[in-house]
Amino acid sequence: MTTPLSDVGELGTILGVWAHPDDEAYLSAGLMAAARDRGSRVVCVTATRGEHGTPDPGTWPPERLAEERTRELARCLAVLGVTEHHWLPYRDGTCAAVPTADAVARLCAVIEEVEPDTVLTFGPDGITGHPDHQAVSAWTAAAFDRVAPAGARLLQAAFPEQRVARWRDLDSDLGVYLPGYPIVVPAERLVVDLQLPPDLAERKVRALAAQETQTAGLISALGLDRYTAWVGEEGFVERPRPPVVAAAEVARAGTG
């Protein structure tokens, strides 16, 4: 069943796990804001400070950009009403090389503290094909399977075919995706399919605009109306939790 905006509160406590500042806003700002408006707890985790996210490293060397993006994310989350945030200590562009056990252990600790009903993150494709996104997806799934509360749901960001078709030319011009991405899903697979109403879309754009180093030029180039339409949809598919295998069965499999 697809969750409409009116039922976002039914997702309970939400934990979002993302790779870089602005991932959370592009993929789930509307969902987070709607949940907070309904009184739900929303917690955000960001793996890196996004210190290499610039075409102008002369103006924005990594340390300076990391500091600015840290401030920008705080302003973004404030617009959405999200007051709980955790940083992971990883470097932008290096997540695929991080020891998996370390990252999963850190996320397990967060999940155990938050006890989320719903975890949001990337799908295995990472939406854009970015290796950091894909690594964060894998870490989150592993931590979720290990310690998430019974009944919790893992929702992974996804783009339906019609959205990708609508924006294909613009996405190509902007170089949003690595070759072969995005991997589209049929609309009927979405368990969350949000078409943001004007007030929520405007709030999402304000949150994104707070991350000025990443969005100011794009908003200016596209114009506010087109940019708002471009970011005005959010979708998630559900990743089924794998069945628990009894320890005795695991032992037998290992000796067979």
Between CA 187 and CA 224, with CA 221 as vertex, the angle to 5 degrees is 65
Helix (H, G, I), strand (E, B) or coil at 120: strand
The single-letter DSSP state of residue 13 is S
Q: Note the pLDDT tens digit of each residue in 101-142.
A: 999 999 999 999 999 999 999 999 999 999 999 999 999 999
pTM for the full predicted model: 0.92
Mean pLDDT within 217-231: 98
In the structure, what pLDDT confidence band is assigned to residue 248 with cuts at 50, 70 and 90? very low
Residue with tokens 């509307």: 30
The single-letter DSSP state of residue 12 is -
Mean pLDDT within 146-165: 97
